[in-house]
Amino acid sequence: MRFPPAAGPLVGRCQVPGDKSIGHRALLFGAIAEGESHLRGLSSGEDNLSTRRCLEALGVSLRSDATGLTVRGQGLRGLRAPAGPLDCGNSGTTARLMAGLVAGAGLRARFVGDASLSGRPMGRVAAPLRAMGAQVEGREEGGRLYLPLEVAGGALEGLRYESPVASAQVKSCVLLAGLGAAGPTELIEPAPSRDHTERMLAAMGAPLEAGPGWARVQPLRHPLRPLELEIPGDPSSAAFLAVAAALVPGSALRVEGVCLNPTRDAFIDVLSEMGAQIARRDLGEQAGEPVGALEVEGGVPLRGVRVEGPRVPSLIDEIPILAVAAAAAEGETVFEGVGELRVKESDRIAAVCALLAGLGVEVEAWETGFRVVGQGPNARLHAAAPFNPAGDHRLAMSAAVAALITGEGVEVEDFACSAVSFPGFDQVLAGLQRTPR
């Protein structure tokens, strides 16, 4: 698919798909509650659909109608062993959280996924699950563990686990297993990661305590309360539109109903530091999650910044699109301590550097980071060849946004992979552009 240069400023109001991180958890936790959970605004992206299909294979009834999705909870011990492998598609969240759920429920299941997911490390969840007494076997290669993965629960014991990575997926996996273990289970992180699991489980009555960088759960003695939840917009999806508006002069964009959880919205602060006119508006709360609107005005020159330290886990998914913003900034932008990007849907450090280099931007990468030498606000990037995102939705959308500030546009191969998180992104982006009179 070819994306042209900006036809005009991005003007108007829009919404983005429901946050898929919250969607995964609402599906999983609704499945182990007792009673019916009602979810509205669930993303139709492929990742949340993968979680839904896996739950149906575990015997959970899910029903869609005009008002949303109803999940009939089975209770943690009411799930059944699947008849075949659980296909997690492209979703690392599905695979890692579902592994904890299966272990905590005392079941056995085999997890598979697409080629991209099969190249993502699973040892980070296997280690704590094994320490709790679960059996975990998988494909070993180069000292790492990958899908296909087989997990069998049993008489699990709680533990105190210090995770080597700040990962909400690891944390959620361990807490889910801990609900079915004997004794307390505590996880300590090297830096705070997103806290949707803690917020939602606590709201459902789980015996859970948490603070920045730690969470502790007791065995589940009473049923979890079902959910009544309007899932807020995905901040990671909103980031693409925010950067697009910031890059195109004359833009005046409002993205409504966005989750503004402080463990998810650090990209807004980075854009502000770069000089972008971006603001949080009309703040409120939805099911324990902060929600509001993002307003962005375009045309203000951006400047290079340094992105590193404890805030990296809260903006790790937005780094590809922030790198596109950095390409149009004045000066150098450095992303350090972002080595986790190398084990996402693609090696995102290598991929984003390839994207920018192909547009004529000077970049330099190393194992844990990369730098971008900005071309300045008046530069026009030039695409020498089509860009292949290698099935990575965030790289595909980053390339589409980068096309706005090129002279001739960008050809993005396999743009359909963007449907993993933002179905119809190309139509939304085109629909917001206003041709100058």
What average pLDDT values come out for the chain (437 residues) when binned by 10 residues?
Answer: 95 96 98 97 95 98 95 96 97 98 98 95 97 98 96 97 96 98 97 95 96 97 95 97 97 97 96 98 86 96 96 95 98 97 93 96 98 90 91 96 95 95 96 80
Residue 377 lies in a domain: yes
Same domain, 259 and 378: yes
- Containing domain of residue 206, as a range? 20-220
Same domain, 91 and 175: yes
Q: What is the pLDDT at residue 87?
A: 98
Cα distance between residue 324 and residue 404, in whole Å? 11
Residue 80 lies in a domain: yes
Same domain, 12 and 25: no
Angle (CA) 193-73-64 rounded to 5° is 90
Same domain, 253 and 152: no
Residue 60 lies in a domain: yes
317 as an active site residue: the answer is yes
For residue 66, count other CB atoms closer than 10 A to its CB: 4
Q: What is the pLDDT at residue 186?
A: 98
Same domain, 178 and 309: no
Q: What is the pLDDT at residue 377?
A: 84
Same domain, 255 and 212: no
Same domain, 368 and 393: yes
Residue type (1 letter), 21: S
Number of domains forming the structure of the chain:
2
- Among 220, 252, 275, give the residue marking a domain's end: 220
Residue 265 lies in a domain: yes
Radius of gyration over every alpha carbon of the chain, rounded to an integer in angstroms? 21
Residue 36 lies in a domain: yes
Residue 437 lies in a domain: no
**Mode of pairing for the β-strands spanning 2-3 and 277-286:** unpaired
* Helix (H) or strand (E) run with residue 426 in it: helix 425-432
Same domain, 261 and 205: no
Q: What is the pLDDT at residue 228?
A: 95
* Helix (H) or strand (E) run with residue 201 in it: helix 196-203
Judge contact between 5 and 426, C-beta under 8 A: no
Complete DSSP assignment for 202-218: HHTT-SEEEETTEEEE-
Which of 19, 195, 317, 392 is catalytic? The answer is 317
CATH of the domain at 25: 3.65.10.10
Same domain, 274 and 293: yes
Same domain, 63 and 203: yes
Q: What is the pLDDT at residue 378?
A: 80
Q: What is the pLDDT at residue 342?
A: 94
Q: What is the pLDDT at residue 287?
A: 65
DSSP class of residue 118?
A: G
Same domain, 388 and 285: yes
Q: What is the pLDDT at residue 436?
A: 63
Same domain, 61 and 9: no
Residue 96 lies in a domain: yes
- Among 220, 242, 272, give the residue marking a domain's end: 220
Residue 53 lies in a domain: yes
Nearest to 389 by CA among 365, 413, 359: 413
- Among 185, 220, 255, give the residue marking a domain's end: 220
